[in-house]
Amino acid sequence: MTTPKPLRFGVIGAGAIGSLHARNIATRVAGASLSAVMDINLEAAEKSLYGNAYATTDLDKMLGDPDIDAVLIASLTSLHSEHIQKSVAAGKAIFCEKPVAIDLEETRRVMKQVDDAGLPFQIGFQRRFDPGYAAIAKAISSGEMGKLEMFRSQSSDPKPAPEHYIATSGGIYIDSVIHDIDVARFVAGEVKRVTALGANPVDPVYEKHGDIAVSILTLEFESGAIGVIQNHRRTPHGYDLRLEVHCEKGKLVTEDERQTKLWRYDQGGIHGDYFYYFMQRFEDAYRKEVQAFVDAVHAKEPIAPGTRDAIESLRVAVAATKSLKEHRPVAIAEV
Amino acid sequence: MTTPKPLRFGVIGAGAIGSLHARNIATRVAGASLSAVMDINLEAAEKSLYGNAYATTDLDKMLGDPDIDAVLIASLTSLHSEHIQKSVAAGKAIFCEKPVAIDLEETRRVMKQVDDAGLPFQIGFQRRFDPGYAAIAKAISSGEMGKLEMFRSQSSDPKPAPEHYIATSGGIYIDSVIHDIDVARFVAGEVKRVTALGANPVDPVYEKHGDIAVSILTLEFESGAIGVIQNHRRTPHGYDLRLEVHCEKGKLVTEDERQTKLWRYDQGGIHGDYFYYFMQRFEDAYRKEVQAFVDAVHAKEPIAPGTRDAIESLRVAVAATKSLKEHRPVAIAEV
Amino acid sequence: MTTPKPLRFGVIGAGAIGSLHARNIATRVAGASLSAVMDINLEAAEKSLYGNAYATTDLDKMLGDPDIDAVLIASLTSLHSEHIQKSVAAGKAIFCEKPVAIDLEETRRVMKQVDDAGLPFQIGFQRRFDPGYAAIAKAISSGEMGKLEMFRSQSSDPKPAPEHYIATSGGIYIDSVIHDIDVARFVAGEVKRVTALGANPVDPVYEKHGDIAVSILTLEFESGAIGVIQNHRRTPHGYDLRLEVHCEKGKLVTEDERQTKLWRYDQGGIHGDYFYYFMQRFEDAYRKEVQAFVDAVHAKEPIAPGTRDAIESLRVAVAATKSLKEHRPVAIAEV
Amino acid sequence: MTTPKPLRFGVIGAGAIGSLHARNIATRVAGASLSAVMDINLEAAEKSLYGNAYATTDLDKMLGDPDIDAVLIASLTSLHSEHIQKSVAAGKAIFCEKPVAIDLEETRRVMKQVDDAGLPFQIGFQRRFDPGYAAIAKAISSGEMGKLEMFRSQSSDPKPAPEHYIATSGGIYIDSVIHDIDVARFVAGEVKRVTALGANPVDPVYEKHGDIAVSILTLEFESGAIGVIQNHRRTPHGYDLRLEVHCEKGKLVTEDERQTKLWRYDQGGIHGDYFYYFMQRFEDAYRKEVQAFVDAVHAKEPIAPGTRDAIESLRVAVAATKSLKEHRPVAIAEV
């Protein structure tokens, strides 16, 4: 078998997600290799190395390295846009954690630069690579279930984020619900209009920053289908997701996923645990999304989710934010 | 043990639900007995008899029978209001299938007559007597889960109703979603505002009558909690319900109920069946609700769901209907 | 509808099971009525009355009552045999809690008396009337799954019985595993040979009385199929049963049944409760088995499980007891 | 971070399992690299290459390569013993697919050579690395459940093996049940005595070769616990496993694992698929077992399952085979 030359990655950002991607690229993604990890904290970068990769604090130097083919951007959200632009200038293939930016116009502008440069680009909507979500999307697109008629996605986080994060996150829709929105677009197609409903029982810090902790967002799709996304930011049992779609020929539901494949029966009844957080729940999806990127780059095939998804999923999130503030349905065409 | 004299019932209406109630009263409800069944079709009434009960086509005669203590009204919806009023005049305890009427003003008027007469009255919201729904309501009211923050109820019917039924049913909210609405009130308290979203992929007959087949209704509760109710009128696998509530200390979910307690593994994988329709799904709840009524009458205790629930659950359904037609959130106080 | 004259019952024994049967007969079994309850403790008998039934401490008087058609024997196990014989002499239809006796010869003798008298007789193997067990038996007998090839039944009790009970119960096979054995015969047909394996980790009291608390019993069926029954006498989560059969065309499994139809998600994960004990787990089966008896008596149809089942299921239990003591496979034909 | 020099593997045998291991070593096992693949079919070896690895038909040449640190033996079972011995002579670390040999004496002899040479050795009992099995073993060894009292493992294959395979496999216990036996030893400790029961409903080919298709094997453990292993060689729904252990403080059960994380509800009810076969079911366990081997070699830590497990699990399987043939309980000490 002829195996292609590995796609050599430089990882930008050595936080939790960056380190995970570095490890996957180095040890678990076929056809890829880790060349360098850049972080302003050299020690953090060094801790994320494998094999012959080098650590650096100098982004320009890393982007100038001709032995690096691709970048994986896992820096602070506020730097994504700048890092994408520099990577475009350096001519690298780009995998960027979501979002490109919390501002829609900036996102559009940067995505246009990527498209104009003709560079491979993937945005980190990892749920598309989870087996349950992927199986539902595949069943719908195959037509075997007939037309999709009603969509429902539910996501819950175990605990509120720290205040400094809330203050700059762009709000629940842009920060968090965007993952459900991207799944909605992935499974049910483009959204025409949204209506947001919020509540704030969890922590006054959300209200202080004009944000909410509990959300119900209804969606009207271009296809005529309707949908609802429910989010909660403090579910004590852990990170809990469920996707249900009603179609012409039946209903599809992702099964409840738990961290440990075990049921325990004791004096209190029957018990099972849950995933603590998204990094546990999507551990393998984080590997698979990068594998898909690497495979597509090698095969010179179209990449999804790409620049258009980065824009369109954000656009729905921005419309939802507007709906929440203005207490009215907001058409996606408005934003 | 001193057992009380049985509560002697006359059943009005010998259709599917009336027959079921007659059978339950005669054979499965403690402290009750069946005295008579009235239907304009004498043969139908006769088929529903047990023991020494008699059949009649003459409602006034049955209501005049001093050996009948209580009526169970299971006649056509359009006759409920008249039958309640006649039963009030005859001084009977009244159990009435929902709804009292599809008109809110008429419902208010008739319920006032019942209250003024001081007669025991129960409305047939049988879900309150299903073990799963009842367990969630009990857990919430006990306070063990902390404050309820987000409510979700989903109900699906296996197939569209016949056109003549759709034409006079009052629409999906008054006819069908009212059961989820009553559960919402039962579990989460009174509703402040609703917003309805509908779609019509199932059958043009719904559109013809200004009705919808798929609905997403969002609710704002007086407590500050928010909720969503999803309904679908054609789920090929059968009658399918799910209730989920997010609370301060966790989430409660009714387990998936299936008709047969069996999993079959064969060449196609693993399979289980579903309840065909509400009469199978709630078979035991139909018995338990009448048992609760009988017990409360014997004990001279307050009855729930009673006249207020008959009004308030309808009121939310009427507001939802208005929201759907006017494409805007509707406050319950408006109706 | 012509409804038959109710089958009028006298209940013998007003303990937990007798009271349950009395309540069911009086209030929840169609075509039956409760005439009397007999117990040596008059107060207990009186507490189990409904309607016009009378209490008595005089068995002979009750059996002499011409207005009693049938008896339900729920007295102490050691009295079953005597009570059956007296009921035969009185010409009553007989429903008897299992076992007829813990001695096989006595059982054979008494069952012969019943058969010779031509009286209706049903033995209380209530699992046959549980929806899950019944559905598996029906699927097998219908032939839709092809030939049954491997059988497995598992039953667990929440806690050891009191010592006086253990001392006279006849041992785990005759007292408890006999329910699984009867299910095995019900589902997979007659048993040819058994091999018992026991352990005693739970409580020294079992060893003291030559009994065991944990059992694995393998079965060879006449059909050529093989099977295994597992029992445990102290499962802290409650009363827990599972039935699995492998057939030519697939596998059938009864779903896990829990007392409350609820899943609770909290800081510790996901939780559900269990049935506390057999009376909760089989509450409805206890009603259904008597309903089946009443229906069969009214219809003059054959009754199952009847005298032959009372003998044959005990016979397998006796062989299992012998196998455990003699550490060898024991053919059913030996006993 | 200092990452160790990768452990460089030569894979012996490029069949289905060998290819899977080669791919894992090359792309998904951290700290490992693939240097060569040997197969008598050069084309097969070439198809399993990644990166700079070379293919060869010459085992001696590959074992003589000083740049190879470890071998993964995935050749025909009948050659395992010879290939282990050659690898010992070449001083390589050894990971060998189970079994070492189907003959117990040969296994003992070869394992002694490995031990005497002091070389790292792991046997391919991959179930120990499956999350569900591992979680149960961990819970038991932690003591949190108290003493293990009853063990049960069930495994089913989707379809009979080809005749030439059956003819030389050593029979169901040595070929297949050995995986359940190893789990029994892993979870519940050493086995003292076994009793086998077999049936042959599936295919006359098993009988022809003195083998069986359906087995129930009971186990008595050194600890006093008892257990049962059930196997079936034709379960149409796929590859289906379940592990249940009863302990002092409760019961642990591995949850049902299915290939696709999806439930489909349609006209026939609710449906889910199953794993087709062991390679799908244990895909990730095959990676994890090699990862554990690599980690242990790097860390110079003890390896499990090692030479002793290769002997002892086979020993129980040999005793089970003897029990089946001689229709009697067989003590492990006999073999």
pLDDT digits (tens, 9 = 90+) for D28-81: 999 999 999 999 999 999 999 988 899 999 999 999 999 999 999 999 999 999
Instruction: Provide CB contacts within 8 A for A120, sequence distance 6+.
Output: A70, A93, A94, A293, A296, A297, A303
Q: What share of chain D is helix, strand, coil (3-state, %, to 5)?
A: 40, 25, 35
pLDDT digits (tens, 9 = 90+) for C29-88: 999 999 999 999 999 999 999 888 999 999 999 999 999 999 999 999 999 999 999 999
pLDDT digits (tens, 9 = 90+) for C247-294: 999 999 998 889 999 999 999 999 999 998 999 999 999 999 999 999
Q: Which chain A residues are Cβ-neighbours of D31 within 8 angstroms?
A: 27
If DSSP codes are grouped into helix, strand and coil, which group holds residue A190? coil
Do the Cβ atoms of A224 and B201 come within 8 Å? yes
Establish how many alpha carbons lie within 13 A of residue C112's alpha carbon, considering only the half-sphere containing its beta carbon.
6
Of D69, D67, D60, the closest CA to residue D38 belongs to D60
Q: Which amino acid is at B151?
A: F
Do the Cβ atoms of A199 and B225 come within 8 Å? yes
pTM (two decimals): 0.95
Which runs of consecutive H residues, i.e. helices, occur in A300-335? Answer: 307-326
- Phi and psi at residue A198, in whole multiples of 5°? -130, 160
Do the Cβ atoms of A214 and B327 come within 8 Å? no
Look at B10-24, D171-185, D249-263 and tell me which has the smallest mean pLDDT.
Answer: D249-263
Residues D127, C186: Cα–Cα separation, whole Å:
36
CA distance A101 to chain B (A): 30
Kindly tell me if the per-residue pLDDT of A326 is higher than 60: yes
Q: Which two tokens stand for residue C98?
A: 């299992």
Q: What share of chain B is helix, strand, coil (3-state, %, to 5)?
A: 40, 25, 35
CA distance D286 to chain C (A): 27
By the 8 A CB rule, do B270 and D274 touch?
yes
Q: Considering all CA atoms of chain B, what is the largest pairwise distance in Å, rounded to the nearest integer?
A: 64
- Phi and psi at residue D256, in whole multiples of 5°? -65, 125
Kindly tell me if the per-residue pLDDT of B4 is higher than 90: no
Q: Which chain C residues are Cβ-neighbours of A262 within 8 angstroms?
A: none
Q: Would you state the pLDDT for residue C120?
A: 98
Do the Cβ atoms of D131 and A267 come within 8 Å? no
In this complex, how many residue pairs, one in chain A and one in chain D, have their CB atoms less than 8 Å apart?
Answer: 113
Residues C35, C45: Cα–Cα separation, whole Å:
12
pLDDT digits (tens, 9 = 90+) for B264-296: 999 999 999 999 899 999 999 999 999 999 999
Residues C317, C180: Cα–Cα separation, whole Å:
10
Look at A145-154, B158-167, C148-157, D310-319 and tell me which has the smallest mean pLDDT.
Answer: B158-167
Residues D33, D5: Cα–Cα separation, whole Å:
9
By the 8 A CB rule, do A155 and A182 touch?
no
R_g over Cα of chain C: 20
CA distance D158 to chain B (A): 9
Which of D28, D132, D264 is facing A250, going by the closest CB pair? D264
Residues D228, D320: Cα–Cα separation, whole Å:
12
Interface check for A271 against chain B (CB to CB < 8 A): the answer is: no
* CB neighbours of residue B335 within 10 Å: 16
Q: Which chain A residues are Cβ-neighbours of B156 within 8 angstroms?
A: 246, 251
Interface check for C49 against chain B (CB to CB < 8 A): the answer is: yes
Q: Closest-CA residue in chain B for A197?
A: B226
Kindly tell me if the per-residue pLDDT of C334 is higher than 70: yes
- Tell me, what's the ipTM? 0.95
By the 8 A CB rule, do D125 and D96 touch?
no
Which of B26, B27, B254 is facing C262, going by the closest CB pair? B254
- Distance, CA of A5 to chain centre: 28
DSSP state of D230: E
Residues 99-128 of D with CB under 8 A from C: none
Report angle CA C221, C224, C228 to the nearest 5 degrees: 50
Of D279, D240, D275, the closest CA to residue D15 belongs to D279
Q: Which chains touch A (3 or more CB pairs under 8 A)?
A: B, C, D
Residues 230-259 of C with CB under 8 A from D: 230, 232, 235-237, 240, 246, 248-251
By the 8 A CB rule, do A199 and A214 touch?
yes
In this complex, how many residue pairs, one in chain A and one in chain B, have their CB atoms less than 8 Å apart?
Answer: 93
CA distance D249 to chain C (A): 6
Q: Would you state the pLDDT for residue D3?
A: 58
Please report the domains of chain B, with CATH numbers, ordered by start residue: 7-119 (3.40.50.720), 127-282+310-334 (3.30.360.10)
Interface check for D223 against chain C (CB to CB < 8 A): the answer is: no
Q: Which chain A residues are Cβ-neighbours of D267 within 8 angstroms?
A: 249-250
Do the Cβ atoms of D266 and B238 come within 8 Å? no
CA distance A277 to chain C (A): 13
Residues 132-151 of D with CB under 8 A from A: 132, 135-136, 139, 145
Kindly tell me if the per-residue pLDDT of D174 is higher than 70: yes
Q: Which two tokens stand for residue B110?
A: 């008739």
Do the Cβ atoms of C28 and B23 come within 8 Å? no
Interface check for A334 against chain B (CB to CB < 8 A): the answer is: no
Residues D140, D134: Cα–Cα separation, whole Å:
10
Q: What is the mean pLDDT of chain B?
A: 95
Which of B26, B255, B272 is facing C263, going by the closest CB pair? B255
Q: Which chain B residues are Cβ-neighbours of C20 within 8 angstroms?
A: none
Residues D141-145, mean pLDDT to the nearest whole number: 96
* CB neighbours of residue C326 within 10 Å: 10
Do the Cβ atoms of C253 and B262 come within 8 Å? yes
If DSSP codes are grouped into helix, strand and coil, which group holds residue B218? strand
Q: Which two tokens stand for residue C10?
A: 């006298």
In this complex, how many residue pairs, one in chain B and one in chain C, have their CB atoms less than 8 Å apart?
Answer: 113
Q: Would you state the pLDDT for residue C3?
A: 58
Q: Would you state the pLDDT for residue B1?
A: 44
Query: String of b and e for C121-156 (b: at least 16 CB within 10 Å)?
Result: bbbbbbbbbbbbbbbbbebbeeeebeebbbbbbbbb
Q: Would you state the pLDDT for residue A215?
A: 98
Residues B80, B86: Cα–Cα separation, whole Å:
10
Residue D1: pLDDT band with limits 50, 70, 90:
very low
Residues A34-42, mean pLDDT to the nearest whole number: 97
Residue D203: pLDDT band with limits 50, 70, 90:
confident
- Phi and psi at residue A241, in whole multiples of 5°? -130, 150
How do beta strands A121-123 and A93-96 pair? Answer: parallel
pLDDT digits (tens, 9 = 90+) for B98-136: 999 999 999 999 999 999 999 999 999 999 999 999 999
Give the per-residue SS3 of D60-121: HHHHHCCCCCEEEECCCHHHHHHHHHHHHHCCCEEEECCCCCCCHHHHHHHHHHHHHHCCCE
Q: Which chains touch C (3 or more CB pairs under 8 A)?
A: A, B, D
CA distance B210 to chain C (A): 37
How do beta strands D269-272 and B269-272 pair? Answer: antiparallel
Residues C109, C107: Cα–Cα separation, whole Å:
5
Helices (runs of H) and strands (runs of E) counted in chain A: 13, 15
* Terminal Cα distance for chain B, rounded: 50
By the 8 A CB rule, do D22 and D33 touch?
no
β-bridge mates for residue A148, sequence order: A247
Q: Would you state the pLDDT for residue C203?
A: 85
Of B250, B197, B140, the closest CA to residue A152 belongs to B197
Do the Cβ atoms of D131 and A260 come within 8 Å? yes
Q: Would you state the pLDDT for residue A1?
A: 43
By the 8 A CB rule, do A320 and A194 touch?
yes
Which of A3, A28, A29 is facing D51, going by the closest CB pair? A3
Q: Which two tokens stand for residue A170?
A: 């762009």
Do the Cβ atoms of D251 and C228 come within 8 Å? no
Report angle CA B318, B322, B325 to the nearest 5 degrees: 140
* CB neighbours of residue A222 within 10 Å: 12
Which of A265, A266, A273 is facing C269, going by the closest CB pair? A273
Residue B3: pLDDT band with limits 50, 70, 90:
low
Q: Which chain A residues are Cβ-neighbours of C272 within 8 angstroms?
A: 269-270
Q: Would you state the pLDDT for residue C267?
A: 92
Interface check for B164 against chain A (CB to CB < 8 A): the answer is: no
Do the Cβ atoms of B273 and D269 come within 8 Å? yes
Residues A229-237, mean pLDDT to the nearest whole number: 95
Residues C132, C140: Cα–Cα separation, whole Å:
13
Give the start-end residues of each E strand in B177-278. Answer: 191-199, 214-221, 226-232, 240-247, 250-254, 262-266, 269-272
CA distance D286 to chain B (A): 24
- Phi and psi at residue B199, in whole multiples of 5°? -145, 160
CA distance A252 to chain C (A): 21
Residues A24, A124: Cα–Cα separation, whole Å:
14
Residues C281, C258: Cα–Cα separation, whole Å:
8
Rounded to 10 deg, the angle between the C283-299 and C16-27 helix axes is: 60
CA distance A271 to chain C (A): 4
Interface check for C153 against chain D (CB to CB < 8 A): the answer is: no
Mutate to test the interface with C, among B152, B261, B270 (most CBs of C within 10 A): B261
Instruction: Provide CB contacts within 8 A for C37, sequence distance 6+.
Output: C10, C11, C14, C18, C22, C45, C46, C48, C49, C53, C54, C55, C56
Do the Cβ atoms of A263 and D252 come within 8 Å? yes
Do the Cβ atoms of A197 and B218 come within 8 Å? yes
Q: Which amino acid is at C271?
A: H
Which of A152, A226, A250 is facing B199, going by the closest CB pair? A226
In this complex, how many residue pairs, one in chain A and one in chain C, have their CB atoms less than 8 Å apart?
Answer: 53
Q: Would you state the pLDDT for residue A3?
A: 59
Which of C132, C145, C263 is facing B261, going by the closest CB pair? C132
Which of D26, D47, D264 is facing A252, going by the closest CB pair? D264
Residues C100, C79: Cα–Cα separation, whole Å:
9
